[in-house]
Structure 1
């Protein structure tokens, strides 16, 4: 199936990475502890986050919702967007 998009992939990944980084304990999905995440330099954190974002984007092509840390990421195919929800805050990443 796959996630359909019309925007530049790098722009989507950038927006989605930023939204994922705001999820408390998102690094749990990477099987990392907070200390491990904090010990990485900025470059290392960006690489891990980009890899996580790529994996999430790919997975959303098969399943429409993924729990990461204390948040939920949902692919809304009919609306061409990905929603990242933490508590009552929702970040929307447009795919078109």
Structure 2
């Protein structure tokens, strides 16, 4: 189903892809090993991160907190945004409106 949004999905997806790319071990979401990730070229990594962003966008409609590697992705309904955190530190957020 995905999260409710007022912005174009394409723009949200682009920003979310960049945001989850800031989680250094985001590949763990797909149960990849570090060695597998290292073998991927930059285009392949970008494809994996975009797939991750798509999966998260739709999953956050059902589950508001999703661990991704050493980070966590949170659908903040009250502020209409998706927060990306590592520990207590906010890395970034993606606005939905």
TM-score by length of 1: 0.92
Q: Distance in 2 between matches of 1:69 and 1:2?
A: 21
Q: Distance in 2 between matches of 1:44 and 1:24?
A: 16
Aligned pair count reads: 96
Contact conserved, 2:71 with 2:86, CA < 8 A, in 1? yes
Q: Which residue of 1 aligns with 2:95?
A: 94
1:57-87 deviation line (CA, Å, top 9, x unaligned): 1000001000110111100112110000113
Q: Distance in 1 between matches of 2:57 and 2:64?
A: 10
Q: Distance in 2 between matches of 1:76 and 1:22?
A: 19
Q: 1:27 to 1:89 in 2, by over 3 A?
A: same
Structure 2: unaligned runs, 5 residues or longer: none
Structure 1: unaligned runs, 5 residues or longer: none
Q: Which residue of 2 aligns with 1:12?
A: 12
Q: Which residue of 2 aligns with 1:26?
A: 26
Q: Which residue of 1 aligns with 2:3?
A: 3
The offset of 1:31, in angstroms, is: 1.1
TM-score by length of 2: 0.91
Contact conserved, 2:23 with 2:71, CA < 8 A, in 1? yes
**What's the Cα RMSD here?**
1.3
Q: 1:76 to 1:89 in 2, by over 3 A?
A: closer
Q: Distance in 1 between matches of 2:68 and 2:80?
A: 21
The offset of 1:33, in angstroms, is: 1.1
